[in-house]
Structure 1
Amino acid sequence: MASLGAETSVSCTLAAAAGLLSHWLYFIRGPRSMDALKIAIFYILALALLLLKTTTSLGLYRGVILYAELSGSYFLALFASIGAYRLLFHPLRRFPGPLLTRASKVYLMWQNRNWRLHQRYLEMHAEYGDFVRVGPNDMSIVNLDAFSKIHGPQAKSTKHNTGFYDELVTNGELNLDSLWHNEEHRDRRKVWDQALGSKALEKYEEETRAVLRTFLSRLDDLQGTPVNTTLYAKLIPFDNMGRVGYGRDFGTIRDGREDRMLDLIEFTFKLAARLGQTPWPLVLLARLPRTGMAKEFEDLGNRLVDERIAVDSDERHDMLKYFLDDHRSEKPKSFRSINVLYSDSKAILIGATDTISCALGHAFFYLARDANLRRRLYEEIAAAHGATLPGEFAVVDLNGLGLLEAVINETLRIQTPAAINGPRISPPEGVVVDGTHIPGGVTLFTPLHCYHRSPKYWKYPDEFIPERWTTRPDLILDRRAFVPFHYGRFDCVGRRLALNVLRLTIAYTLWHYDFRFAPGEDGKRFEEEAKFQLIVKPANLHCVFTKRPETEI
């Protein structure tokens, strides 16, 4: 027995040594998120073989005990070495941040358990400053120099191997937002820029009016009763996306309820938000066959493309028309296969709905609580009504309205939809931001919510003050900190479409209706219960809409 105990002790020592070597020779050499599936398969096979070896040699009982001792020794040494390295020897050890974030990404997953991670980032930067270590190999930076150094045209930081974007693969193709290769992204972006260019936007404008007519008709039916404005802030861009993206009417406004498609979009956001700070599970899921709602969402994007192709004609003017034109050309710029269309179909579903929904939902909130603001804005839009189109609003007439732009800008500032934008990996030589050197191979975040709420750049940053964009420019300390649609070559391609939808929706709604909080609604839950699910999701807000007379001016 003594001999067996000694042999076990030696075996456990060797297992622990193997754990240390696994860290020193492999895991220490940069992020391994992209190898998640290979690592999982290796350990499953290795542990299975170890269990088989011990049980066949010693019998079931003793074999299982030895298996537990050996595997426990290995993983205890491995994780102890990883923890010690991250806390004491990692290149980011000199940067401040919560102690637990230095040891593991699980801490931030826990912090987002109530979907308030964007607020936690704000708190961390308030406590630790511009540069905060938010993970073992992760940095969050709130410094204006970071935009050009990390996201600018000459920046060498990349989306590649972050793990965050790698879930967005359809049949081997990345969508526009997840493309990391500069040339590929440039070519794909050219087609998207056509699909969202000035000529295309003019055609889409009438589609947006059609959506808003349905919305106003729905308000006629609901007049005088509490209306969940957050719901309709979601349905308006969703139905608009159906018309603009695929040339079809989803009809959710008419029905007054969410569609299954919206459930699938929300599931995708929730999954990525819950796991996004720890990307290896996303990579692992992306490498496995799709199941459940993930499979249903992928099938949805594919089906919408197939159905659009089946009814194709020269009269159709939607985003898919531009994608199909490139796909069918002799020398496609980017849409070389149907799988690229399928992949970017998911980008349309996601990008053209939730970001606008967030901004519109918050705009309804800020207008509903301030009767004086509604009155002033109503008086301003009156001059634009019918200026180009009799009895209608046109974007060309709304563009120059100072207060309308101020309301939209201030809403986007104080409630940034993409509160924590996607990460980048610093180049091998590292990157210098405002004199501070960030080592190579580090995952970098530039959380827009923190830029838009920082007292370094805004006076009274937590207050909704539209006048800072008009008569009170002194309230803006540095205009460069306002980047609601991101910065650089990967900025939001749908920026102009989003602004057009916001302008038209606010103008049409306010022209036809006055609205205020419903009885019993004070807006507190709306402000306190917004959820960070990659995009900030507003809580429910109930308002009462009162139809205006034909004219009040």
Structure 2
Amino acid sequence: MSAGDPLPISIVLGSAAAVGTLLHQFFRTVEADRYPLSILGSVIGSHWAVAYGLQSTSEQYASFWASHGLAFLIVSTAVVSLWANILVYRAFFHPLNRFPGPFGAKLTKLWSLKQVVGSDIKWYRVASELHKQHGDYVRIGPRELSVLDTAALIPMLGARMEKGPFYGAMERSVHTNRDAAFHKQRRKVWDMAFKQTLADYGPTIEDFTDSLLVRIDSLVGKATVVNDLCIHYSYDVMSSLAFGSSTGFIDGTSSDVATTILNNIKEGIVAVGLFLHVPWMLTIVETLSFVGPMKLFKSWSSEKVAERRKMNNNRPDIMGYLLEHTEDNRENRALLDAESRVIIGAGSDTTASALATMFTILANDPACQEKLRQEVNESFEDGSYTCARPQNLLDGVISETLRICPPVLFAPQRMVPEGGIRIGDVDLPGGTILSFSTYNFHHDKRNFVEPGKFIPERWTTKPELILKKNACIPFVMGPYKCPGKAIAMMELRSVIAKTVCRYDISLAKDAKFDLNEFFLGVKDHFTAGIPEQELVFTRRKE
């Protein structure tokens, strides 16, 4: 072969395969999930660079089709080599290979996505079956374990472990970020926002509950989809407490834009429930959110922040405090816009799910409804009622509802720190992603006696039915626990207390209903997707 002759194709492709092998070593040191579009751009750029090089250095490949044909073959060989190396490493040499789990899960998170779709978006039930088959630590991804060991809860939810890839795939906020130092500093502002305004929230919540009762009065005796009542109530309360103005869903004054936004959010939560298992897909969805339904949601939430910035509000609200204690610059304006969306999602859908579940359970259990009514009536009569004050059975009903059907079914992710950790007799390598299903901890027989049964007395007169109380974590715990727990409890107490005292709640006449079947229909839309349920509210005699 003389100088200037092109190299044989076998050598060229062999070199491309070697490049793929080297790239695998590089990708083992970075989280590629965070850069899907950059990687795609690099592949496309490499193709054009190789094609240009071929055109410039070889007359044989001077034509467009010849140069691009060979460039495509070279780049494809490198990519195939990269993927082959990745798959072989994941299947046979990865440190997590000693943990049991489905073979497909070792290779790709697309396996999890397939299970989610095949289970009708019920990943928590997929995880339950995996743990029954494989034990407390199950490999559900190339570098991810699903955990059902209560001894792991404190380490996982402590300050030492950073959040997993899901939290870095979305826009930066107090919730969606993986920077522990940033979260600690920002969380202080959030905690003060809730603490300093909590005393004023009670009257606002009670006002909206009274408006909800007026709405129910107009529906007395009619079969009513309770889910709609709950979501309208929770969005109105969220909007008022967060931005100082109501969305007007309860009284029917909501704008067409607000109604469209609500529907978009419902659809968006379903999408998140799918893509959260494949973070690089979620990153692409977030990157492209400047178009489509998410564009409208982002524009609307940003407008709410801008309106609140100009508003003089005598009643304190969350965004007002955040605005006051956040320096006004471009970066922080984007932060506040993102956090407005956290408030909208986390502050409404979770409460609505819990309320819809609780109403359905009570409609199926008239005896529990009557006991609850007696307790609440006594508190009204002696003047001790306030939604901020815990009540024995009422709080037991709420706690049991949150245990048996957690409003957030998403399995939080944590990252094992460099050097690894040991939990009991289990060694976990550094860089391992740990995820844990709240639902499965709540339904584990090692934690609760008869976990599938709704028994509110386990939180009151039958504590022996709770074997491990710290396994009940509907609001999570540790530095990342839900900052809005107190407000959520106030909303749930207010609605349930006032509703059971005013109405008999029952299932629609001749309705075929089974509570276990109802629970089997709950979907994992990030938050719990509660099946639509028609209930009848009958006004009680004063």
TM-score for the superposition, normalised by structure 1: 0.89
* Displacement of 1:9: 3.1
Alpha carbons of structure 1 residues 40 and 523: separation in structure 2 relative to 1, 3 Å: farther
Counterpart in 2 of 1:488? Answer: 478
Shift of 1:60: 6.0
2:178 corresponds to 1:188? no
One-letter code aligned to 1:188: R
Structure 1 residues 239-276: Cα deviation after superposition (integer angstroms, max 9, x where no partner): 10011111112111222998222223334423322111
1:339 aligns with 2:334: yes
Q: Is the 8 A contact 1:163 1:282 kept in 2?
A: no
Partner residue of 1:165?
A: 167
Match for residue 142 of structure 2 among 136, 149, 167: 136
Counting only pairs closer than 5 Å after superposition, residues 190-205 of structure 1 correspond to structure 2 as 190-197=188-195, 200-205=197-202
Q: Deviations over 1:420-464 (max 9, x none)?
A: 333122111112222311111111112211111111111211221
CA distance in 2, matches of 1:271, 1:141: 24
Aligned to 1:239: 236
Q: Please give the alpha-carbon distance, in whole angstroms, between the structure 1 residues aligned to 2:427 and 2:85.
A: 26
Say which is worse superposed, 129-138 or 527-536, in terms of deviation: 527-536
Instruction: Give runs of aligned pairs for residues 79-94 of structure 1, distance below 5 A.
Output: 79-94=83-98
**2:10 is the counterpart of 1:13:** no
Matches of 2:174 and 2:137 in 1, distance apart?
29
Compute the displacement of 1:204 (Å): 1.1
Distance apart, 1:209 and its partner CA:
1.4
Question: Could you tell me whether the CA contact under 8 Å between 1:101 and 1:136 is conserved in 2?
Answer: yes
**Is the counterpart of residue 547 in structure 1 residue 539 in structure 2?**
yes
Q: How many residues align?
A: 527
Q: 2:447–2:471: 8 Å Cα contact kept in structure 1?
A: yes
Trace 1:479-518 onto structure 2 (pairs within 5 A). Answer: 479-518=469-508
The 2-side partners of 1:14 and 1:44 are apart by 19
Pair 318,140 (structure 1): closer, same or farther in 2 beyond 3 Å = same
Distance in 2 between the 1:476 and 1:532 partners?
Answer: 25
Give the equivalent residue in structure 1 for 2:226.
229
- Work out which of the residue numbers 392, 395, 420 in structure 2 matches 1:402: 392
- Indicate the residue corresponding to 1:452 in structure 2: 442
Counterparts of 1:379 and 1:240, CA distance in 2: 27
1:219 corresponding residue in structure 2 = 216
Q: Is the 8 A contact 1:428 1:441 kept in 2?
A: yes
Of the candidates 366, 370, 374, which is equivalent to residue 375 of structure 1? 370
CA distance in 2, matches of 1:349, 1:388: 33
Q: Which stretch shifts more, 47-56 or 419-428?
A: 47-56
With structure 2 as the length reference, what TM-score do the two structures score? 0.91
Q: Paired residue for 1:116, among 116, 122, 143?
A: 122
Residues 1:287 and 1:362: Cα distance change in structure 2 (over 3 Å): same
8 Å Cα contact 1:139/1:443 also seen in 2 = yes
Mark the CA change 1:30 to 1:450 in structure 2 (over 3 Å): closer, same or farther.
farther
Once the two structures are superposed, the pairs formed by residues 48-447 of structure 1 within 5 Å of their partners are 48-50=48-50, 57=61, 59=63, 66-67=70-71, 69-113=73-117, 114-152=120-158, 155-159=159-163, 162-169=164-171, 174-197=172-195, 200-255=197-252, 259-287=259-287, 290-313=290-313, 315-327=314-326, 337-388=332-383, 393-397=385-389, 399=390, 401-447=391-437
1:268-302: CA deviation from partner (whole Å, max 9, x where unpaired):
42332211111122234445572222222222221
Question: CA shift at 1:134, angstroms?
Answer: 0.8
Structure 1 175/388 Cα, relative in aligned 2: closer, same or farther at 3 Å? farther
| Distance in 2 of aligned mates of 1:167 and 1:11 | 37
| Same amino acid, percent of matched pairs | 28
- Aligned equivalents of 1:116, 1:106: Cα separation in 2: 15
Counterpart-to-counterpart distance in 1, 2:330 and 2:485: 22
Q: Deviations over 1:8-54 (max 9, x none)?
A: 3333322222222221x212235322233332221121123445666
1:519-530 pair list within 5 angstroms: 519-524=509-514, 526-530=518-522
Distance 1:310 1:442 in 2: 46
- The AA in structure 1 aligned to 2:151 is D
1:509/1:235 CA distance change after superposition, 3 Å: same
User: Post-superposition shift, 1:179?
Assistant: 3.8
What code does the residue aligned with 1:16 have?
A: A
Offset at residue 335 of structure 1 (A): 11
- State the AA in 2 paired with 1:79: W
1:490-533 alpha-carbon deviations (Å, 9 max, x no partner): 10000011111011110111111111111353345643332211
Moved more, 113-122 or 417-426: 417-426
Structure 2 residue matching 1:272: 3-state secondary structure: helix
Alpha-carbon displacement from aligned partner over 1:390-431 (angstroms, at most 9, x marks no partner): xxx41245x1x2211111111111111222333122111112
Separation of aligned partners in 1, 2:153 and 2:211? 41
CA contact (8 A) 1:95 1:132 kept: yes
Amino acid of the structure 2 residue aligned with 1:19? G
- Alpha-carbon distance between aligned partners in 2 of 1:425 and 1:278, rounded to the nearest angstrom: 16
Secondary structure in structure 2 of the residue aligned to 1:255: coil
Q: Aligned partner of 2:290: which letter? A: R
| SS in structure 2 at match of 1:327 | coil
Inter-CA distance 53–95: structure 2 relative to 1 (3 Å threshold):
same
Paired residues of 1:513 and 1:548 also in contact (CA < 8 A): yes
1:536 correspondence with 2:540: no
* Aligned partner letter, 2:534: H
How far apart in 1 are the matches of 2:181 and 2:31? 25
Give the superposition deviation at 1:80. 1.7
| Distance (Å, rounded) in 2 between the aligned partners of 1:523 and 1:129 | 33
Amino acid at match of 1:190: K
Deviates more, 1:317-326 or 1:59-68: 59-68
Alignment partner of 1:164: what SS? Answer: helix
CA distance in 2, matches of 1:270, 1:167: 16
2: CA distance between counterparts of 1:45 and 1:137? 29
Alignment partner of 2:379: what SS?
coil
Contact in 2 for aligned 1:175/1:346 (Cα 8 Å): no
What is the identity, as a one-letter code, of the residue corresponding to 2:316? Answer: H
3-state SS, counterpart of residue 21 of structure 1 = helix
Distance 1:268 1:415 in 2: 21
Does the C-alpha gap of structure 1 residues 185 and 70 become closer, same or farther in structure 2, counting only changes over 3 Å? Answer: closer
Once residues 122 and 388 of structure 2 are traced to their aligned partners in structure 1, the CA distance between those partners, rounded to angstroms, is 38
2:273–2:410: 8 Å Cα contact kept in structure 1? no
